[in-house]
Amino acid sequence: MTSEATSNPARSRRALPPIPAVLDDPLLTPAEFAAARRQAISTLWLHVQKGIVPKPVYVGPRSPRFRQSWLLPQAAA
């Protein structure tokens, strides 16, 4: 066995930081967010366009997510 085999940089990996078990403010898909607001997804996107609902956070190029804290109780009419 050579010393080259034991000092392979690919084998020495850094430990990743721990991932919290529960997020303080989970991210919801558009379908989950619209269902929680009891509206259609198309209505949700219309409300985003009008500024009634904040623009989503994109976790990927085509992965919009809404924060659960953005679900506010709807005012009684």
| Domain span holding position 38 | 24-72
Domain for residue 53, yes or no? Answer: yes
Question: What is the residue-wise DSSP string for 48-69?
Answer: HHHTSSPPPEESSTT-EEEEGG
Q: What is the per-residue pLDDT across 38-70, written as a single tens digit (0 to 9) for each?
A: 999 999 999 999 999 999 999 999 999 999 999
First to last CA, the chain: 79
Instruction: Count up the domains in the chain and report the number.
Output: 1
- In this prediction, residue 77 carries a pLDDT of 40
Does some domain include residue 62? yes
Residue 11 confidence (pLDDT):
62
